Structure 1
Amino acid sequence: MPQRWVSVLDSMAVFMPAIQAYKPEQDCDCGSQSFPQDLIGFYFVVTAKTQYSLKNAKHYFHEHLSVGDYYEEGQKTSGEWFGAGAEKLGLPARVASEDFLALCDNRHPQTCNRLTQRLMSVQWSGDKQTPTRRVFYDFTFSPPKSVSILALVAKDERIIDAHHRALNVALAEFEQFAATRVRRSKSNGLRVTQNIVSALFTHDTSRALDPHLHTHCIVFNATFDSEEGCWKALQNYEMLKARKFVENVYYHELAKDLRRFGYSICNLHRGDFQVEGVADEICERFSKRHEQIDDSLRDLLEKKPELTRGNFKDLRERLATAERSRKMHDIPRSQLEELWNAQLSRSELENLKSLARPSVEETDALDPRAAEEALTWAEEHLFDRQSVVPEFLDLLKRLTGERDYVREPTVPVQVTTKAVLARELEIVASAKEGVSRCAPLLAREPSPNRALDEEQMTALARLGQSRDFITVFRGGAGTGKSFVLRELVSCLKQRGPRVTVLAPQRQQVIDLTRENFPSPTTVAEFLLRKELTDHGIVVVDEAGQIGARQMLDLILTVSARRGRLVLSGDTRQHGPVEASDALVALEGYAGLKPVELERIRRQDPNLARSRKEKEQITAYRRAVEFAAAGRLYRSFLELDRMRSVVACRMNDQPDELANEYLRLDEQGHSTVVVSQTWMEVHRVNERVRAALKEKGLLGVEDHLIDALEKIDLTAAEKRDARSYGPGRMIVFNQRIQKFEPGTVAQFVEVLDKGILAEVQDNLVVIQHRNLDRINVCRPLTLPLASGDRLQLKANRKLPGGSVVTNGELVTVRQVRGDGAIELSDGRVLGAGYREFVPGYAVTSYGSQGRTVDYVLFSDSTIKAATNDQQWYVTISRGRRGIQIFTPDKEQLRENVLRSGQRRLALELAGFARRSTQFRWADALLRRFGERITSLIHRARRFHRFNHDLERRYEHKTT
């Protein structure tokens, strides 16, 4: 996007629901020894830390918060209270020590009575005691380094005032996301309270005494619930999810004042900015603390190259804590100024002071065209993967006037577009139109099959009797859907019409091939060629991972050939990355009657080798059954009762998991390690590999291999120059011009017509329409030895005819001298295939569809990344058992109760789920527009027909 587009508009694109909210953490991961310059010294403008220890909280106040960084004439800086909650407590403007410490003790500052219900709690791990009550959250707001230099070295005191003003505006937005937990009538939800108790402390130096303007916003773990009339613990999930949005509000307000002061702003790819005219070399000169940590990290990786794939952000934070020097206080301001000025030449100092201009009045008027372009970009970016997204209504109205979104009056901050709603409506209308309109899939009842039990044979018979255009076959994890589906395909092929078997991902296609399905292919390949005979039958496995765009295209393609569609999947597991969970829409709104398998077969007690193990597998299966039935609390308690939930300290967690991994590996069991975030996956990968190396289970010699890690970008982000840091590479995953899949190019710049890249000494423009054919990657260096495990991240046909698939887990047999990697199954990754990461641990999405003996789950404690879908998929992968490692059992138990289901546009628009009548009025139809109105009339026309057939349909399928 052009740099003239203001930061606050960018925030609409960055502030996304859970999966997008954590993308910045993924972008922090870096294992390259060359340390890309865009990641050196990387930090969030808004960092968040949780304080659990009461002793440390009080020490933190006395050592770091209650004093300033310098003194002048005996004056010390003091904190200020902020928030509606602070006003409710009657706190004065200035922070007094006794008030702060009373809140640390969870006491009312005025009455000394207990404030919230929970006082102190601890968790034991062996003989170690760990506090678990959250005392407060420390959110730190920091402007870019160039801004600190101008404010403190060039002495532009207007900037300090602008920092405080921007901070107050951002915190006012932050406070709107404060919430508390509601536990009544067996419900476990959140209630927005919109009040916090926060103490603000502003400092202006780093530990290395460099200029570093920043404010600590200490948010206490208390908020007032006006409905219940009491103080309760603060639930900061929505606040953490909104952190990127609040960061952009802060940036926008600060940048607006800086422009008014005469400074020019340069937007950067990380989403932040710098002031033009402040040289990078000066910023680095005054970033000695970051430089110290980076030097220590380089030294560490030289000594321990196995850490080169470790989490970059996590390693830096651990080094920062380990090497943290005592911060110096009571330093005269004059000495600080002498120290700073001594690091600049006279011309450099004069240049810094010359950048400012007298303040000018600036109106809030924006270029309407620029605002419209920014909003269009944000819509494309957000609705690429979400049907319903948050909207900051007042801000949008102020910038551009009313946007033509679809809203629900009771949830005014959530919106969708007419295009998204139209797709979902057409999917549902097509399905409803085809109910009981076709001949049975099988002309006669299938013959008995000894490989199928009674429930599976009943399901097969019901599938054969289906007269619907779209037939849904539903079954939980490990229920044996594939066996029934394979038998159905076999019976259909005997009937005559050509049967096409599809799956969303290449790895799933390979799994279907291994299970003897005839010539399966991906949904994308099928839709590209659209080769289907008249009256053909299309069978789709893992249909829950198909988004609305592909599903609608698939339905229209099959319908045009007067064919039939069989969709097999489970909406309780992870859905598609793309917008709209199409299978959820079909199950919930189309009036279809899914054929379902309920009995779990994967956790089979007959696999046990002893009576004790049989009891363990039986209890394990019971926990999975509870999760499949939506009884998450019971599922957690069952696993905890069988001692499968291990409480341990955060620092000990990777070691305990690695020891269990080694134990299971020595016993010959297959194992998958799962976590919710890539951040935790990288941390576990690092520790498991180190443990294997120490035990001598990997080759002695490590080969340092250059690899490429994919950066997950939407099409809109790929057109944005800020998404490309220095050294970014582009890999073609499909043929573009004369270049074959797998071709690696160097990113050059973003043009109006496409992406300019250098390929084999040639400059090539990749048109915008071909952006779905490329992956943007960052280079990294991995140590590889024989026995190492890799997760491949790209589909590719290898020389010799073999193929590799995205998400596949492979084992290294040896690394050849020419850089080729020979795998344990004989395949060879040539030097041109470098899209892989360590594969000891995967995300729960990456584990879906896998079956192993044991699951090891490393809990990252990140609430936004934990939900019922993630829990169900993770715990159901094993045949024999699971071990869960968590630093906070109680928090994990609460986190798994969260719904991972994304909201549909149909739901937002007020369409009733499984209702016997439509509840929308003509006024609503007119608001949606002519195209959607016609679709609704189609659905209306067939609704009464379907309703009359419900009992007859039920009889037939039974």
Structure 2
Amino acid sequence: MLAAKAQYSLGNARKYFEEHLRVGDYYTEGQQVLGQWYGQGAEKLGLSGTTRGAEFLRLCENLHPQTGERLTLRNKTTRMEVGQDGEEHQSPNRRVFYDFTFSPPKSVSVAALAGGDGRIGEAHDRAVATALNQLQPLAATRVRKNGQCTDRTTSNIVAAVFRHDASRALDPHLHSHCIVFNATFDAVEKQWKALQNHDMLVAQKFIENVYYHELARELREFGYAIENKPRGDFEIQGKSQALIEKFSKRHREIDQKTKELLAKEPEKAKENIAAIRENIAHRERPPKVRDLALSRLQGLWENQLSAPERDSLRKLRVNEPPIVHTPATVAEKAVTWAEEHLFERRSLVNEHDIWRHALEHARGENISLADIQAVTRERGYIRDQNKPGRVTIREHLQREWAIVCAAKDGHFKFAPFQSEYRSNNRQLDDEQRRAVEGIMTSRGFVTLFRGGAGTGKSFTLREVQRELQKTGRFVQVVAPQRQQVLDLESAGFDHVETVSGLLARRQLPRDAVLLVDEAGQIGGKQMHALLALAEDNHARVILSGDTRQHGAVEASDALRAIEKYSGLEPVELTNIRRQNPALARSLKEREQIKEYRQAVTEARDGKLPESFARLERMGAITQCSVAEQHEQLTERYLQLAKEHEPTVIVSQSWNEIHKVNEAVREALKRETLVDDKETVVAAFQPVDMTDAQKRDTRSYDENTVLVFNRDARGFKAGDSARLHSLTDTHLVVENENRVVPIAFKYLNKVTVCQQREMALAAGDRLQLKANGRSMENKKLANGELVTVKSLSSDGRIALADGRTLDKNFRQFVRGYAVTSYASQGKSVNHVLFCDSAGKGATNNQQWYVTISRGKKGIQIFTMDKEQLRDNIRRSGDRPLALDVAPRLKDSRTVAVRRIQGFLRERAMKHAAQTQRVSNSLGVGR
């Protein structure tokens, strides 16, 4: 693995070097680990070969290692900062260096050190060097001169690499620390400056996979077989798990210390266990062992091995040369797999992500990163001119452009649905009446209807459907998800189905109106198909949605592309009706709801700091420790449950959601709101996978279950099976002695799940994770929240709403806490937001959706207000393929010519490149 950690303290940096880096975790008097200088920056400073202590320590102090002069401009090591106690404290202000630590899987360390295969250590060194050669070009520095606020790539680092062979518990633990100093040379400004490591951290998984691939490739050449794991790493095939455990004493020590701490302080079980383990590892390190050379260590490891264990280590080397495939063919297949995986969900990707996934897919094969890069160079990607490392493909650009053109070309193409229409429905307010009138008098092939969260879109659209039906038109209503379909039917809509259902049957009456709800959650492929179906049947389309909320799962946020590039003006609702002061039971609550509504309005309008500050003034944001967070949230949830107030908890990550769900359930059991008589069931929890991942054996383990969401090859919807094998064209599944091949084209009918035991009781709340039918033949919807009424001995689960899940419906998770994506479209009285402090999962869309779910109030529980305040300012918008195409001008003719010329040029280049690849492979000769 590759772990990265910043060192802020100069004192700790010195101590880390003296007591760890250059002596490892064991040492003999007078013997030191010899670090090696690395990097073009190091060369520029006159550093090469063995790392000397004086030079290393001078760099820690931000001094030139040769002259002793100050190196970079910034030298202040501390700053004054107000802490949670309201007092000022000194805080580290300068990063001294970054520690990038490369570690192989445990089985590799055991084979290298306990097994005595010295070739593996050398292979590890070469793999680290290859990975660093990819890390260095990502080095950058900030540019702030003349009012600029950008980063400039410098592609040089000053680094020292130290290889260690043992853990503090003296177990075999091969690893290398690459210490990258906070300095890089800016060739433009001709001076040393602080290192900007953002791109290095973004590409961390790519760098890790370069290391893994190079190491695995050499291991195979040595005669070891490689077994890739679902978690993303690998092990040596045939390893003894007992032997791995024997040489994992430090891991077990930390496990034991963690258990002891949790037994002593059980409230800490709600905290981040990984962080607790890391803290214990650093705080309770055993003292280093003196006078112990590596040769003695190897003797100690040898003495711990039984005869069968020695034999098992020898047998890991099969000494059979691996099957050698043509590098170009392997690289081509690996890149194709990576493209299918990434471009299924994203229009624009970092090219190094393609390299990363291609390397992971072909790990250990006889190809190099250069082979992978040679294939991507010939791919004809369309590059972002501002950031050439970001690429898209012609398919996405053409589809997005076709969607925009369909909307733009259809402007004023039709007569109004009803000329001079005026609404006389007194149930609508003035804004809603104007919206209905705007839609009824629109003349475009596509009409946009935009409304923020809680503005009453559905109520207005129901009036639109009624008025259109009065004109004799058939109105087909569609929505992306089954849950949304059920909600629309409950609201009184007719002829409602899912988008995928309509596209599967491809039937639409001529001159119909296609009314699309939650259009912002529809990706490019489905939107293109919907518009094509409408055009084929001379139908018109009304797209209702809000691009400020969560977008599509599949690639291309199609509604945003139309809004951004078609020039169409939406009919819009802006008045928020969900947070209605009339719901209040007191004057104080009335004022709170008014303020709450204003905070939601500010979030919708992009005024994120103002929205946060308003909720903070209201007392809706509680800062608490990790231990207090779940306790306070659970206490508030219980209070609302006793008051019979509909409430949903929202968090950003599934890891946090599972913890919250268990904490809330335990509290409900103590209050007898959930029965203490439990039944354990085998629940199937869906694993989010692309079709490419479903075709990859690494995605499956012994707990994987395949559940059919539609009938296929003799299996009924709801049936489950296990993976038997994979071929180049089929997924072969096994069920009750039946072995059936499932063609890859039917992968969308299969959901990959992990089987987990779950205790259920009356009163439990579940979130369904699949569509289906109850035993009463009523619809069940993915994402629906239901309450357990009772459980039968034959496996049936009776729900409080009268429906019953049969014994085969097991796709559910606990439903007290959900993701913000799952909460979108839901409306409850109160929202509780449990902030997991995950920067990557928090952005403006997540904030807006989360805080807008409640009618009466919201309460936010966070460990770091300032971090949350900063995180919500991040944009959640995914870039479109059109964003990297030539700018679209006002003149459509000019725009068409520019795009078509751009695509034609790319197509010609791609054809030429494809021919060169074919020639090199001998195809077509």
Report the TM range for the smaller structure's normalisation: 0.7 to 0.9
Q: For 2:826 and 2:618, locate their aligned partners in 1 and report how far apart those are by CA, in whole Å.
A: 23
**1:886, 1:892 within 8 Å by CA — same for their partners in 2?**
yes
After TM superposition, list the pairs within 5 Å mapping 1:161-310 onto structure 2: 161-177=122-138, 200-217=161-178, 238-261=199-222, 263-276=224-237, 278-290=239-251
Partner of 1:658: 634
**1:469, 1:565 within 8 Å by CA — same for their partners in 2?**
yes
After TM superposition, list the pairs within 5 Å mapping 1:306-705 onto structure 2: 315=273, 318=276, 326-331=285-290, 332=292, 333-346=294-307, 348-349=309-310, 352=313, 367-392=327-352, 395=370, 396-399=372-375, 401-705=377-681
Does 2:698 align with 1:734? no
**Correspondent of 1:855 among 826, 831, 856:** 831
Change (3 A) 1:741 1:456: same
CA shift digits 1:351-378 (9 cap, x unpaired):
7468779999x9x995222221111111
Partner of 2:119: 158
Letter in 2 for 1:455: E
TM value normalised by structure 1: 0.82
**Correspondent of 1:803 among 764, 779, 796:** 779
Q: For 1:452 and 1:56, locate their aligned partners in 2 and report how far apart those are by CA, in whole Å.
A: 67
Letter in 1 for 2:785: L
**1:706, 1:781 within 8 Å by CA — same for their partners in 2?**
yes
Structure 2: segments with no counterpart, 5+ residues:
356-368, 912-925
Q: 1:87 deviation in Å?
A: 7.3
Partner of 1:47: 3
Q: For 1:511 and 1:297, locate their aligned partners in 2 and report how far apart those are by CA, in whole Å.
A: 46
After TM superposition, list the pairs within 5 Å mapping 1:738-777 onto structure 2: 738-777=714-753
Structure 1: segments with no counterpart, 5+ residues:
1-44, 934-958
Q: For 1:134 and 1:626, locate their aligned partners in 2 and report how far apart those are by CA, in whole Å.
A: 35
What is the aligned length?
A: 884
CA shift digits 1:502-559 (9 cap, x unpaired):
1000000111111111131101111111232110111010001111111111111111
Does 2:24 align with 1:68? yes
Q: Which has the larger displacement, 917-926 or 431-440?
A: 917-926
CA shift digits 1:649-702 (9 cap, x unpaired):
334333332233233334433222222222222232233333333444322233
Q: For 2:507 and 2:34, locate their aligned partners in 1 and report how far apart those are by CA, in whole Å.
A: 73
Q: Which has the larger displacement, 147-156 or 89-98?
A: 89-98
Q: 1:893 deviation in Å?
A: 2.4
What secondary structure does 1:572 align onto? coil
Letter in 2 for 1:544: G
Partner of 1:944: none
Change (3 A) 1:358 1:799: closer
What secondary structure does 1:463 align onto? helix
Partner of 2:75: 115
Q: For 1:182 and 1:635, locate their aligned partners in 2 and report how far apart those are by CA, in whole Å.
A: 31
Q: Which has the larger displacement, 139-148 or 907-916?
A: 907-916
**2:708, 2:751 within 8 Å by CA — same for their partners in 1?**
yes
Q: For 1:315 and 1:262, locate their aligned partners in 2 and report how far apart those are by CA, in whole Å.
A: 38
**1:106, 1:115 within 8 Å by CA — same for their partners in 2?**
yes
What secondary structure does 1:518 align onto? coil
Letter in 1 for 2:122: D
Aligned-residue Cα RMSD (Å) equals: 4.1
**Correspondent of 2:106 among 126, 137, 145:** 145
Change (3 A) 1:351 1:54: same
**1:181, 1:235 within 8 Å by CA — same for their partners in 2?**
yes
Change (3 A) 1:814 1:183: farther
Change (3 A) 1:690 1:133: farther
Change (3 A) 1:354 1:744: closer
**2:521, 2:551 within 8 Å by CA — same for their partners in 1?**
yes
Q: For 2:211 and 2:278, locate their aligned partners in 1 and report how far apart those are by CA, in whole Å.
A: 26
Q: 1:902 deviation in Å?
A: 1.3
**2:80, 2:89 within 8 Å by CA — same for their partners in 1?**
no
Q: For 2:735 and 2:267, locate their aligned partners in 1 and report how far apart those are by CA, in whole Å.
A: 31
Q: 1:492 deviation in Å?
A: 0.7
Change (3 A) 1:661 1:921: closer
Q: 1:626 deviation in Å?
A: 2.1
**1:179, 1:234 within 8 Å by CA — same for their partners in 2?**
yes
Q: 1:765 deviation in Å?
A: 1.4
Partner of 1:11: none
Q: Which has the larger displacement, 142-151 or 605-614?
A: 605-614
Change (3 A) 1:922 1:820: closer
Partner of 1:893: 869
- Among the aligned pairs, what percent are the same residue? 49
Change (3 A) 1:774 1:189: farther
Change (3 A) 1:818 1:365: closer
**1:68, 1:330 within 8 Å by CA — same for their partners in 2?**
no
Q: Which has the larger displacement, 780-789 or 547-556?
A: 780-789
Change (3 A) 1:768 1:163: same
**Correspondent of 2:841 among 831, 853, 865:** 865
Partner of 2:905: 927
What secondary structure does 1:652 align onto? helix
What secondary structure does 1:385 align onto? coil
Change (3 A) 1:922 1:802: closer
Q: 1:98 deviation in Å?
A: 8.6
Letter in 1 for 2:286: K
Q: For 1:879 and 1:707, locate their aligned partners in 2 and report how far apart those are by CA, in whole Å.
A: 33
Letter in 2 for 1:329: K
Letter in 2 for 1:674: V
Q: Which has the larger displacement, 272-281 or 108-117?
A: 108-117
TM value normalised by structure 2: 0.85
**2:267, 2:627 within 8 Å by CA — same for their partners in 1?**
no
Change (3 A) 1:120 1:93: farther
Letter in 2 for 1:377: W
Change (3 A) 1:844 1:56: farther
Q: For 1:92 and 1:163, locate their aligned partners in 2 and report how far apart those are by CA, in whole Å.
A: 20
Q: 1:597 deviation in Å?
A: 1.5
Q: For 2:87 and 2:193, locate their aligned partners in 1 and report how far apart those are by CA, in whole Å.
A: 31
CA shift digits 1:896-941 (9 cap, x unpaired):
22222111112222242767642727752431449999xxxxxxxx
